[in-house]
Structure 1
């Protein structure tokens, strides 16, 4: 049935090919399967498949859910993450030489933060138009204004430029 669609096949010249659970004639490279499933799901709206809880790429029919959950190959990595199943051969224990912090120790020595953001001075934000552009001779292009407003702005800029030029010449 559809659960067979997750079997991988190795062929010469191709990477791992996977069969689409919606249409068995679709053969997709495994790293493209997620993208393909999104597109294929739109074409096959009448096929009702559910997601595997361990791997979103596994699409299975509702009646096969219990069986698939028992045999899913991605269940091991999920269980290993969830239950922290390790052996001394796989991984050394990370809990050695870790100090144990008791509740009494945290009460006796509470953490005191010396930095207070409320005591810092509040400064105004930098506004380039007020701080820099209004004092210098900069040609600015205004957008979002009506033509009459743009004309008035350009005229005010021209007068400002003339005043600053006259002031500098004196």
Structure 2
């Protein structure tokens, strides 16, 4: 009873996993490191490790952290925030005054064409009205008047 079963396993990238700073046996996905550190740190409260002030996932001994703080890649964002007033703003673009172009059209003038009247349009085109929503007596009256109108113009 041998069957060829092909099992597909998601590709693994070793760079996606980080080693826990508290326990080297813990290999954690990069996206889950923060959650892991919150749960793992209380189990290692006597480890004498400190967190980087620029990124909470950077944890190391005090001596190594002094070196790390000077070279931390997250420090750039902090430096940019601290020295944002010292950054030179670009000069304003020169303003060019443009001449007005004469236009012969008057957009405020009322159009020569009359406004649309839907009732008049329906009367001219001989459209069948839908008396829905009216009381029964009004429906009968509308149907009767429409029937007479269509018969007078021989549309039926």
Which structure is higher in RCO with an 8 Å CA cutoff and minimum separation 6?
Answer: 1
> Could you state the TM-score of these two structures normalised by the residue count of structure 1?
0.41
Q: Max radius of gyration: which structure? A: 2
> Could you state the TM-score of these two structures normalised by the residue count of structure 2?
0.45
